[in-house]
Amino acid sequence: MRNPLSQKITEVKPSGIRKFFDIVSEMKDAISLGVGEPDFDTPWRIREEGIYSLERGRTFYTSNAGLKPLKEEICKYQERKINVTFDPDKEVIVTVGGSEGIDIAFRAMLDPGDEVLIPQPCYVSYEPCAFLAGGTPVIIPLQQKNDFKLTAEEVEAAITPKTKILVLPFPNNPTGAVMTKEELEPIAEVVKKHDIYVLSDEIYSELTYGKPHVSIASFPGMKERTIVINGFSKGFAMTGWRLGYVCGPEVIIKQMLKIHQYAIMCAPTNSQYAAVEGLRHCEGEVQSMREAYNQRRRFLMHEFKRMKLECFEPYGAFYVFPCIKEFGMTSEEFATRFLREEKVAVVPGTAFGDSGEGFIRISYAYSLDELKEALRRLGNFIGRLRNE
SS3 assignment, position 319 = strand
Are 294 and 226 in the same domain? no
Helix 269-281 and helix 44-55, axial crossing angle in degrees, nearest 10:
140
SS3 assignment, position 241 = helix
Question: pLDDT tier at 194 (50, 70, 90 boundaries)?
Answer: very high
3-state class percentages of the chain: helix first, strand second, coil last, to nearest 5: 45, 15, 40
Query: What average pLDDT does range 50-58 have in this prediction?
Result: 95
Are 22 and 88 in the same domain? no
Is there a domain that residue 255 lies in? yes
pLDDT > 90? residue 24: no
Which range is least confidently modeled, 6-15, 81-90, 343-352?
6-15
Indicate the pTM of the whole model.
0.95
Are 203 and 343 in the same domain? no
Are 271 and 292 in the same domain? no
Number of neighbouring beta carbons within 10 Å of residue 388:
6
Residue 252: give its domain's CATH number: 3.40.640.10
pLDDT in tens, 63-122: 999 999 999 999 999 999 999 999 999 999 999 999 999 999 999 999 999 999 999 999
DSSP string, 8-40: HHHTSPPPSSHHHHHHHTTSTT-EE------SS
From 226, 249, 281, give the residue that closes a domain.
Answer: 281
Is there a domain that residue 53 lies in? no
Closest CA to 131 of 169, 97, 102, 94: 102
Closest CA to 37 of 97, 77, 121: 97
pLDDT > 90? residue 276: yes
The share of the chain scoring above pLDDT 70, in percent, equals 98
Report the number of distinct structural domains present in the chain. 2
pLDDT > 80? residue 17: no
Provide the residue type at 328 as one letter.
G
Are 328 and 220 in the same domain? no
Are 201 and 140 in the same domain? yes
Is there a domain that residue 48 lies in? no
pLDDT in tens, 289-337: 999 999 999 999 999 999 999 999 999 999 999 999 999 999 999 999 9
- How does DSSP classify residue 312? P
Are 295 and 275 in the same domain? no
Positions of E strands within 103-262: 115-120, 136-141, 163-168, 197-201, 226-231, 244-247
Question: pLDDT tier at 30 (50, 70, 90 boundaries)?
Answer: confident
Number of neighbouring beta carbons within 10 Å of residue 156:
14
Domain housing 208: 59-281
Question: pLDDT tier at 14 (50, 70, 90 boundaries)?
Answer: confident
Is there a domain that residue 51 lies in? no
pLDDT in tens, 205-263: 999 998 899 999 999 999 999 999 999 999 999 999 999 999 999 999 999 999 999 99
Are 158 and 234 in the same domain? yes
Provide the residue type at 303 as one letter.
E
From 246, 281, 316, give the residue that closes a domain.
Answer: 281
Are 147 and 289 in the same domain? no
Is there a domain that residue 201 lies in? yes
Is there a domain that residue 116 lies in? yes
Are 264 and 180 in the same domain? yes
Are 259 and 296 in the same domain? no
Query: What average pLDDT does range 132-140 have in this prediction?
Result: 97
Is there a domain that residue 47 lies in? no
Question: C-alpha angle 325/328/331, rounded to 5°?
Answer: 60
Residue 355: give its domain's CATH number: 3.90.1150.10
From 281, 301, 329, give the residue that closes a domain.
Answer: 281
pLDDT > 90? residue 21: no
Of the two residues 7 and 17, the one the predictor is more confident about is 7
Closest CA to 181 of 209, 139, 218: 218
H helix or E strand, kind and range, residue 187? helix 181-193
Are 29 and 159 in the same domain? no
pLDDT > 90? residue 27: no
Report the C-alpha gap between 281 and 109 in whole angstroms.
Answer: 35
Closest CA to 164 of 124, 195, 188: 195
Is there a domain that residue 387 lies in? no
DSSP bridge partners of 320: 362
Closest CA to 215 of 180, 254, 245: 180
Provide the residue type at 284 as one letter.
G
pLDDT > 80? residue 23: no
The share of the chain scoring above pLDDT 90, in percent, equals 92
